[in-house]
C-alpha cells in the first residue's frame, strides 16, 4: 500500500475509531456470540451466524485501519506558506460564487464539508498555485475557471 496523506486531526480520529473497534466493539460482538451459543444448535442459529459475520467485518475493518495508520504520512501544513499544498485551506471564486476547500488525503475527503482529496482533478489543479492565480479545471460539463483568493 502506498503512502496516504492524512491531517493530524484525521489521524487522531482514525486512532480513536480503531481503539473503539478493538475494545468496545470486539467485546460487544463477543458477548453476542456467547449469548447465541447458549441458544443451542449453531448450525441453524441465525443470531450466531450474524454475530460471526459482524466479527469478521469488524476484524477486516481493524486490519484496514491499522494498515492506513501504518502507511499514513501526516500532513504538516505550514500556515505561513503562500503556495497551495496538501493541508491547505483555500478560498476560491468561480464567477460570483466563493467557496472554501481544504485539500486532504483521500481517506479524509468529504466534499460536502469542503474537504477534497489531493487525488482529485480539482485539488491537483490548485496545488502549487498562489493567491490571485487563475486556475482552469476540466470538468464533465466543460472547463471551470477559479481565482484563488486566500490560502491558509
* Nearest residue to 96 (alpha-carbon basis) of 141, 140, 149: 149
DSSP annotation string for 25-64 = IHHHHHHHHHHHHTTS-GGG-HHHHHHHHHHHHHHHHHHH
pTM of the model: 0.72
* Structural domain total, the chain: 2
Last residue of a domain, one of 56, 74, 92: 74
Residues spanned by the domain of 40: 4-74
* pLDDT band at residue 80 under the 50/70/90 scheme: low
Confidence check: pLDDT of 127 > 90: yes
Same-domain check for residues 100 and 143: yes
Q: What is the pLDDT of residue 36?
A: 86
50 or 4: which leads in pLDDT? 50
Same-domain check for residues 15 and 66: yes
Average pLDDT of the residues in 32-59:
88
132: alpha, beta or left? (left if phi > 0; alpha if psi -120 to 50): left
Confidence check: pLDDT of 1 > 60: no
* pLDDT band at residue 2 under the 50/70/90 scheme: low
Same-domain check for residues 56 and 89: no
Last residue of a domain, one of 40, 56, 74: 74
Same-domain check for residues 52 and 91: no
Same-domain check for residues 42 and 60: yes
| CB neighbour list of residue 19: distance below 8 Å, 6 or more residues apart | none
CATH number at residue 98: 3.10.50.30
Q: What is the pLDDT of residue 3?
A: 72
Same-domain check for residues 110 and 60: no
Give, to the nearest 10 degrees, the angle between helix 8-20 and helix 46-71. 150
* pLDDT band at residue 75 under the 50/70/90 scheme: confident
The values of phi and psi at residue 74, to 5°, are: -70, 135
Q: How far is CA 46 from CA 41, 60, 129, 149, in A?
A: 10, 21, 57, 58
Last residue of a domain, one of 51, 74, 97: 74
**Which triple of cell numbers denotes residue 83?**
503556495
Same-domain check for residues 21 and 56: yes
Confidence check: pLDDT of 132 > 60: yes
Same-domain check for residues 108 and 59: no
Same-domain check for residues 70 and 13: yes
**Which triple of cell numbers denotes residue 115?**
474537504
- CA angle at residue 35 from 34 to 37, to 5 degrees? 65
Amino acid at each position: 500500500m502506498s503512502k496516504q496523506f492524512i491531517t493530524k486531526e484525521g489521524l487522531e480520529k482514525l486512532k480513536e475509531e480503531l481503539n473503539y473497534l478493538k475494545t468496545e466493539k470486539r467485546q460487544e460482538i463477543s458477548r453476542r456470540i456467547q449469548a447465541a451459543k447458549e441458544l443451542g444448535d449453531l448450525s441453524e442459529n441465525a443470531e450466531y451466524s450474524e454475530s460471526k459475520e459482524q466479527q469478521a467485518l469488524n476484524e477486516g475493518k481493524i486490519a484496514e485501519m491499522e494498515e492506513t495508520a501504518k502507511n499514513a504520512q501526516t500532513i504538516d501544513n505550514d500556515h505561513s506558506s503562500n503556495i497551495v499544498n496538501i493541508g491547505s485551506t483555500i478560498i476560491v471564486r468561480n464567477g460570483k460564487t466563493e467557496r472554501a476547500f481544504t485539500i486532504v488525503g483521500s481517506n479524509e475527503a468529504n466534499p460536502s464539508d469542503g474537504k477534497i482529496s489531493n487525488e482529485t482533478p480539482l485539488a491537483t489543479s490548485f496545488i502549487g498555485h498562489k493567491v490571485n492565480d487563475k486556475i482552469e479545471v476540466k470538468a464533465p460539463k466543460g472547463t471551470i475557471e477559479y481565482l484563488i483568493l486566500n490560502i491558509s
